[in-house]
């Protein structure tokens, strides 16, 4: 059982790292678009990154729990306070 928890923890950590990388790419792309707003390839890349982030975020929240307080989907429980919060995994 402990191995499953360890695997799940590693998977959540890997997904958080992937989300951080996507956030970095999104910010950099947005900064580029601020300077070159008429660049169609950059705009297309931005939207592809947004779609990829939304997909990965959905997977992360299904398997690991809410990433933010706005991600609590349950109508019957406040899942945000269950388990370690997203930033607590890195400390363990």
pLDDT (0 to 100) of residue 66 = 87
Tokens 């695997």, residue located: 7
Share of the chain above pLDDT 70, in %: 85
Query: How far is 15 from 60, CA to CA, in rounded Å?
Result: 6
Check whether 5 has a pLDDT greater than 50.
yes
Give the alpha-carbon dihedral of 26, 32, 37, 40, to 10 degrees: -70
Q: What is the mean pLDDT of residues 85-89?
A: 66
Task: Give the pair of three-digit tokens for residue 14.
Answer: 């890997």
Better-predicted residue by pLDDT, 60 or 74: 60
Q: pTM value? A: 0.78
Q: Which of 1, 3, 4, 16 is nearest to 89 (CA)?
A: 16
Better-predicted residue by pLDDT, 15 or 83: 15
Task: Give the pair of three-digit tokens for residue 11.
Answer: 């998977």
């Amino acid at each position: 059982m402990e191995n499953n928890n360890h695997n799940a923890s590693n998977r959540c950590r890997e997904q958080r790292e992937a989300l951080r990388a996507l956030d970095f790419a999104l910010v950099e792309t947005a900064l580029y678009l601020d300077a070159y707003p008429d660049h169609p390839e950059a705009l297309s890349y931005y939207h592809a990154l947004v779609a990829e982030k939304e997909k990965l975020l959905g997977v992360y929240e299904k398997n690991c729990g809410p990433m933010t307080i706005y991600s609590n989907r349950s109508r019957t429980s406040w899942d945000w306070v269950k388990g370690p919060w997203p930033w607590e995994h890195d400390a363990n």
